[in-house]
Structure formats: C-alpha cells, structure tokens
Structure 1
Amino acid sequence: MSFPEHARAAAVSGAHVVLYPAAFATGTEHRAAVYLRARALENTVYTVFCNALGGPVHRPCDGAGAVYGPDGATVSHAEPGQDTVLFADLDPRTLTRVRGHLRMLAEHRAAVASGRVAEPS
C-alpha cells in the first residue's frame, strides 16, 4: 500500500476493490489509514485493510482493519486489539456516483488510450 502504482495498475485493469493484507506493527496503523484513504481516493476504488493481530514479541500487531470508500471515506473499521470480522457494503452504484465527479481514473485511462501515458505493467 506504500506504493501507489500497484493500486493504479489494479484500477486501470478494472478492479473496483483492492485488498491489502498486512502486518502493521502496533502504533503504526495510522500510516496504513493515510495510505489506504489515498489509494481509494486517487483511484476511486474501495480499499480493504486486513491487519494481523498478534505476531512476534519484537513486532506485535494490533489488528485495526478497515474499509475505505472510493471517495476516501471510512466505510467500516475495527477497533485495535480484537479479532474482528468487518462487514461493508461495497456498492457499485457508489463507484459510479463517485467516479462521476472524481474523474482521475477516467482521465488516466484516456491518457493511456491516447498514448500520452504508458500503460502500467
């Protein structure tokens, strides 16, 4: 999630959701939230963060997964320190609505089609 190119390649290829299984150490989950909101917003996709709970003593993880919408808003989140199952409605109509006014993905695809930007590999 630290590299925006991965989410962009997925979105350009037609993905509507990008899943990020991770092991962010306790106390660093705020970075994941920043990355995932940005990846969702800049590509108008849903992003899903599944963070580990537990792990090695020198680098424990505290859970705190989340789902972010294509506008970067929080759709669902889990409190830290608990084994949790998240539920979220990933509505295709929301993608259509958001992509109607946030045009980054469409404009990127148009640039790729016109040859102004190289296709992601």
Structure 2
Amino acid sequence: MTGALTVSAIQYQPLEGGVSANVPEHVRLIEDADSHGARLVIFPELSLTGYNLPLLRSADQWLVPGDARLAAVREICRRTGVTAVVGAALRESDGTPRLASLAVHPDGSEEAGFKAHLHGAEEALFTAGPVPAVLDVDGWKIALAICFDAAHPVHSGTAAAAGADVYAVSALYTQGEGPRLGLHLGARAMDNRMYTLLANLGGLTPLGPSCGLSGFWGPDGLAMQHASGTGTEVLTAVLHWGALERYRHPAM
C-alpha cells in the first residue's frame, strides 16, 4: 500500500427536528468535504438526532437497514465517490437496538459499527456492540469507534490487530473534557502506530456545551489540527502512508 487518503472530520451541531431535519445538512457537508478532496467523511456520535436520548422514545428517530430517509446521503456518496459515516440510533433487522456509526459507500452498500462501551442512560436504550467495524476505503483500513470506546485501550488494540490504519472516533466530549480527549486520541494513535481522528458533536447538548476540538492525530500521537471553535466545522487532512511506515518500521 502506498499513497495518501484525504479525510474530513465533521464537527457538527445538530438541528432540532431529528433525522428529517439533519439529513439535508449532512448532504451539504459531504458536498463541502468533497470540494476539499475528501474520500472519507466522518460525522459525530448520533449526528442525525443529536445526543438527545429522550427523542429516541419516538420510533421514527431510529434508522433501519436500508432506511429510505438516507436516500439523499446515498446519492451524494454515489455522485462524489465519498464514503460517509453518519451517527444514528439503528435497529438491526432482528430488532436489536444499537448506537451506531453507519458507513454509506459510493456503491450504495452500507456497513455499521456499534458502540461497544455504553454508559449511563445509553445502557437502557442500546445493546453494546462487538469488536470494532473496519472499513476499506481506497485500500486503507478504517476502524470505527464511538465516544467512550476511545477510553478503552483494548478497543483500539483490537482494531489495530485487525489491520486498522485509522481509528475514527465519533463522539461527544463536553466543556472541560479537552485534556481527556487529547489523552485518549493521542494515546490510541501512539500505542498502535496509526492515525486517529475525532468528529465531535458541537454546540449546546443535553450533557453540556461541546468542547469542540475535533481533529486529527498522527501515528506519533501528536495533534495535527483541531477545530477552531465549538460549532459546525469541516476539518480535512491528508493522511500519508509513508508516515505510518516510518513509525511501524523504524530504521535501526
């Protein structure tokens, strides 16, 4: 494997109104990321509803596999060649409730990663997922993680053992959690010699104001770039294969 992968992490402040209100904004932001050359676009945890767990008492705020409401997302991915990962509450075909990162590929296929480390009120709503989902995007292996997953080294270690080159975290970190955020993303990168990225929910949330700080970390564990504020922002980085190789196979 050689070359580079251009990735956009979307710091996103969800709109009121749930899935129907947020799908058009997701389409707009995917178009924005495509204009910067992105081949992969990562949205935050529960980006289609916001982290508003009481809203999920309504059955129409849950996605199902092949959900018709994502038709516009599938079309923009088809037209641009972008793989987009959106955050949603998802009921699997057998009814299992998941807190999910749902990848929509340009060919219309979908893959889902599920939050493995639920906490608080999430435990009454969702079933924890198994090992991290690992996507293939242009020959790069992208592991999906959701928020508290990044606090558990075993989660990223499992992803690395599965060949992951990038650990993509969709999350909600709130005001005052910046230091913890930096430790999580930097350590996961350095320990496993892979890139990490964070797409954080923005704005005011039911858990408190977002701390922002969406961005990218290199395989040396050092931050590459961060969001400038706490609202919606598209951050794009070019990830270089050579950097992975230097840290994975250092010269003696």
Q: Same fold (TM over 0.5)?
A: yes
Question: In structure 1, what is the Cα distance between the partners aligned to 2:190 and 2:207?
Answer: 33
TM-superposed deviation, 1:55: 3.8
Give the SS at the match of 2:167.
Answer: strand
> Contact 1:63–1:83 (CA<8 Å) still a contact in 2?
no
Q: Tell me the matched-pair count.
A: 102
The equivalent residue for 2:194 is 45
1:57 CA drift (Å): 5.0
Letter in 1 for 2:176: G
Alignment partner of 1:24 out of 166, 173, 184: 173
| Structure number having the greater strand percentage | 2
Contact in 2 for aligned 1:55/1:61 (Cα 8 Å):
yes
Q: How far 1:65 moved relative to its partner?
A: 0.3
RMSD value, Cα: 1.7
Q: TM-score, normalised by structure 1?
A: 0.77
Q: For residue 87 of structure 1, what is the amino acid of its counterpart? A: T
C-alpha deviations, 1:68-116, integer Å up to 9, x for none?
01111212211232321111111111100111229xxxxxxxxxxxxxx
User: For the pair shown, which has the larger CA radius of gyration, 1 or 2?
Assistant: 2
Q: Which structure 1 segments of 5+ residues have no match?
A: 103-121
Moved over 6 A (4+): none
1:21 is aligned with what amino acid?
Answer: S
Quote how far apart the aligned CAs of 1:58 are: 4.9
Preserved CA contact (<8 Å) 2:177 2:211: no
- Percent identity between matched residues is 33
Separation of aligned partners in 2, 1:101 and 1:89 = 21
Secondary structure of the equivalent of 2:216? strand
Cα deviation digits, residues 11-37 of structure 1 (max 9, x gap): 110010011111111121221111110
Q: Is the 8 A contact 1:26 1:60 kept in 2?
A: yes
